[in-house]
Amino acid sequence: GENVEQHPSTLSVQEGDSAVIKCTYSDSASNYFPWYKQELGKRPQLIIDIRSNVGEKKDQRIAVTLNKTAKHFSLHITETQPEDSAVYFCAASIEGGAQKLVFGQGTRLTINP
């Protein structure tokens, strides 16, 4: 089955700097890769997703890149702000049908003022 590894487990950056979180997956059939943000005590919320027919997707300060050959994808946050502090999870699945997401272990991102 699918296995998703996420690094780093913790990340601390200065406000205004960029943050990058990386994930690798094992199943070449996976073609849907969402990223979730979870604030303390709250539910995970989808912030961006990418499908395997594109290599990059941007939404304001957030971007995700995908390398299908190497089976890895990354989340990039630019111009970080204190409200970006949270735990971020990557996931992988085959889109459609059951779409059983397999999650990475999570990255705790701290933005230092």
Q: For binding to other proteins (CB under 8 A), which residues are involved?
A: 1, 4, 6, 32, 34, 36, 42-46, 49, 89, 91, 95-96, 98-106
CB of 13 to other proteins, least distance (A): 21
Which of 47/78 has CB closer to other proteins?
47
Residue 92: name the closest of 49, 59, 53, 62 by CA.
49
- CA-based R_g, the chain, Å: 13
CA distance 96 to 86: 28
CB of 16 to other proteins, least distance (A): 28
